[in-house]
Structure 1
Amino acid sequence: MARPAFLDRIPPTSPTVMRRLAILTVIGQAGIAVTGSVVRVTGSGLGCPTWPQCFPDSLVPTPHPEVAALTQWIEFSNRLLTFVLVVATGLAFLAAVNTRPRRRRLTWLALAQPLGVVAQAVIGGFVVLAGLVWWSVAIHFMVSMFFVWMAVQLVDAAGDGDGPATRVVPGAVRGLIATSSVVLVALLAAGTFVTASGPHAGDAKTPRLGLGVQATAQLHSDILFAYLGLVVGIGFALAATGASRRMWRRYTALVVLVIAQGALGGIQYALGVPEVLVSFHVLGAGLVTIGAAFLWSGTTERTHPTDAVAPTADLVGTGRA
């Protein structure tokens, strides 16, 4: 990707600034999913019944006999956050373009973030126009988690070089982590089924998935136990292969997040799915996705050109071997 000429007059982006902007994109991508859940549990999904306008004749909330002002502003505020996220991800992209030497992988990962926000805005518009039908909301959430995952890859890319990927764990361990990531996708999807069957539709008139909360929650918990089994297996595999401290830190963080999220889900079900716990559970889903993404990205490293001849002892000393 060609470097814009005006950037030649700007000091190159430091690795610290690039990493901070990348972390900001992770927070933003996960955060907007949480605010979306607030829209749903407050019944504000159709507070602005059209898109991109709030009402056919107004871009912003306006007095309406059938839609409460608070409901309008909750939905409208969530839409405004999209523009904030566009700015944040756009800055991350410009910072990536301004790194020297230019790093292709970093640039493309950074570009994916603002494009993803725009794509999510379009999907969100479809969700509204479709009347919040459950499967459209599920797609909206799953795409959001995908871009959370990609934002984590951007964070790691901010510190990596642009050289070839080098495995830091055996292929079998990497394959086990990949398998757990696929099961995590199924776990997140099953969670959307529970939501689709439950009482929090985003609007009182929105039809629910007819499978029932009990059946979908059972499916969700079954997949959770499968995922937990894989996570435990990853721990044994890391111990058997002498994994680095870096991998152990990421693995430990994921274990803590998964256990906390599982406990929260059980409490949420036992209490009848109260509104506030729904949003916390969505936050937990985002955090587990972040933890799993960091574990996956930790299985490889990409060196800088100057690191290509670095002795192994140097790598061991940094805890990255």
Structure 2
Amino acid sequence: MSKSADFARRALSPASAFLLFSQSAIVVTGGAVRLTSSGLGCPTWPECVPGSYTPVPNQAEGQLHAWIEFGNRLLTFILVLSALITLIAVLKSGRRDLRILAGGQFLGIFAQGVLGGVTVLTNLNPFAVASHYLLSTILIAASVSLYTRRHIPCIKKSSNRQSDLFSRWHVVGAFIVVVLGTILTGAGPHAGDVDAPRIDLRIQTAALMHGLAVILLLLITVAFFRGDKTDHETKELLVKFFLISIAQGSIGFIQYLQGVPELLVAIHLLGAVLVWIGAWRIWLSVQRQGMDTAR
């Protein structure tokens, strides 16, 4: 192995870790934009205001809202740089099995930028906002896969059909919880702007749907854990997932009773990222075979 390839393989760990952190962080900062009603702090796109890519003095939206939204947009450039470094590390290391994941990250970030522009230009249409978040969910899953597979190839197990089915139900259940969470958000009060449209659905109904999906996911988690063919590594991940999900559900229930205060909503958003990462790691643990060194 050449020195450059060896360096690239060693660089892949910190590069993919920072990419995962960045993909997760931008979800939280995007939530901060919404919770501070700064979604239209920069009312146009790609410019912040007509004629300027940055906020301007005496902007009608207010300096605080403008700079919060502008700061969130700037994080996209950090994501692009992180994805580019990871892609170069993958290409130089000779890890052909990771090229689609790394390239998909790079392209997905640009797609996210375009979708963010659509979100602004549609005055924070709740379905555009939800799509924006769900694309981040997909990119987070891909970055988890990149980080997890940096040393180990993902080889599908063919001898454990029970765990394979459980892992599929589990990750699909987690994604349904996320989707219903975006619908609940779209029907709730934190739209990102006081004049933004909302989903025409009673928040009580949306909360009930979301809560029932969470209960179903927890039941799948318990059944998966009790499965006689579930290995030790997966069981450890399931325990962690269950505990995080219980904490997340408790926060969600408390914030609902308290009228969704901003701080609890922000914590719940971070928890949603952790729950999704946990679910995806469980799926990967079943898809991975042994500790074989990647080719």
Fold-level similarity (TM above 0.5): yes
Query: Which residue of structure 1 lines up, in the alignment, with residue 47 of structure 2?
Result: 53
Query: Which residue of structure 2 lines up, in the alignment, with residue 176 of structure 1?
Result: 166
Equivalents in 1 of 2:294, 2:205: separation in Å? 53
- Residues 291 and 186 of structure 1: CA distance in aligned 2, closer, same or farther (over 3 Å): same
Question: Any idea what the Cα deviations from partners look like across 1:2-28, whole Å, max 9, x if unmatched?
Answer: xxxxxx783533544312221211111
Q: How many residue pairs were aligned? A: 294
State the secondary structure of the residue aligned to 1:159. Answer: coil
Equivalents in 1 of 2:197, 2:117: separation in Å? 18
Equivalents in 2 of 1:302, 1:97: separation in Å? 24
Equivalents in 2 of 1:161, 1:304: separation in Å? 8
Following TM superposition, by how much is the alpha carbon of 1:124 offset from its aligned partner in structure 2, in angstroms?
Answer: 0.4
Equivalents in 2 of 1:248, 1:126: separation in Å? 42
Equivalents in 2 of 1:65, 1:35: separation in Å? 22
Structure 2 counterparts to residues 64-213 of structure 1, below 5 A? 64-99=58-93, 102-161=94-153, 165-167=155-157, 170-213=160-203
Equivalents in 1 of 2:90, 2:141: separation in Å? 18
Q: Match of 2:187, as an amino acid?
A: S
- Residues 282 and 177 of structure 1: CA distance in aligned 2, closer, same or farther (over 3 Å): same
Equivalents in 1 of 2:137, 2:234: separation in Å? 22
Equivalents in 2 of 1:57, 1:282: separation in Å? 34
Q: Which moved more, 1:279-288 or 1:32-41?
A: 279-288
Q: Match of 2:100, as an amino acid?
A: W
Following TM superposition, by how much is the alpha carbon of 1:98 offset from its aligned partner in structure 2, in angstroms?
Answer: 1.3
Equivalents in 2 of 1:23, 1:169: separation in Å? 31
- Asked whether the equivalents of residues 163 and 230 of structure 2 are also in contact (C-alpha less than 8 Å), the reply is no
Query: Which residue of structure 1 lines up, in the alignment, with residue 268 of structure 2?
Result: 281
- Asked whether the equivalents of residues 168 and 301 of structure 1 are also in contact (C-alpha less than 8 Å), the reply is no
Following TM superposition, by how much is the alpha carbon of 1:189 offset from its aligned partner in structure 2, in angstroms?
Answer: 0.9
Query: Which residue of structure 2 lines up, in the alignment, with residue 315 of structure 1?
Result: none
| Runs of 4+, deviation exceeding 3 Å | 8-11, 13-16, 302-308
State the secondary structure of the residue aligned to 1:126. Answer: helix
Following TM superposition, by how much is the alpha carbon of 1:293 offset from its aligned partner in structure 2, in angstroms?
Answer: 0.8
Equivalents in 2 of 1:112, 1:307: separation in Å? 20
Equivalents in 1 of 2:194, 2:256: separation in Å? 21
Question: Any idea what the Cα deviations from partners look like across 1:114-167, whole Å, max 9, x if unmatched?
Answer: 2111111111011000100111001111111111111111112101147xx141
Equivalents in 1 of 2:146, 2:166: separation in Å? 22
Equivalents in 2 of 1:297, 1:89: separation in Å? 21
Query: Which residue of structure 1 lines up, in the alignment, with residue 220 of structure 2?
Result: 230
Query: Which residue of structure 2 lines up, in the alignment, with residue 257 of structure 1?
Result: 244
- What is the aligned counterpart of 2:259 among 269, 272, 290? 272
Query: Which residue of structure 2 lines up, in the alignment, with residue 243 of structure 1?
Result: 231
Equivalents in 2 of 1:166, 1:11: separation in Å? 27
- Residues 242 and 227 of structure 1: CA distance in aligned 2, closer, same or farther (over 3 Å): closer
- Residues 306 and 155 of structure 1: CA distance in aligned 2, closer, same or farther (over 3 Å): closer
TM-score by length of structure 1 reads 0.86
- Residues 260 and 65 of structure 1: CA distance in aligned 2, closer, same or farther (over 3 Å): same
Q: Match of 2:190, as an amino acid?
A: H
TM-score by length of structure 2 reads 0.94
Structure 1 residue ranges without an equivalent (≥5): 1-7, 309-321
Q: Match of 1:293, as an amino acid?
A: W
Q: Match of 1:38, as an amino acid?
A: A
Query: Which residue of structure 2 lines up, in the alignment, with residue 318 of structure 1?
Result: none
RMSD of equivalent CA atoms: 2.1
Query: Which residue of structure 2 lines up, in the alignment, with residue 297 of structure 1?
Result: 284
Following TM superposition, by how much is the alpha carbon of 1:195 offset from its aligned partner in structure 2, in angstroms?
Answer: 0.8
- Residues 192 and 17 of structure 1: CA distance in aligned 2, closer, same or farther (over 3 Å): same
Query: Which residue of structure 2 lines up, in the alignment, with residue 24 of structure 1?
Result: 18
Following TM superposition, by how much is the alpha carbon of 1:286 offset from its aligned partner in structure 2, in angstroms?
Answer: 0.7
- Asked whether the equivalents of residues 134 and 196 of structure 1 are also in contact (C-alpha less than 8 Å), the reply is yes
- Asked whether the equivalents of residues 120 and 144 of structure 1 are also in contact (C-alpha less than 8 Å), the reply is yes
Give % identity.
Answer: 34
Following TM superposition, by how much is the alpha carbon of 1:111 offset from its aligned partner in structure 2, in angstroms?
Answer: 1.5
State the secondary structure of the residue aligned to 2:47. Answer: coil
Question: Any idea what the Cα deviations from partners look like across 1:71-96, whole Å, max 9, x if unmatched?
Answer: 00000000000101111111111111
Q: Match of 2:123, as an amino acid?
A: G
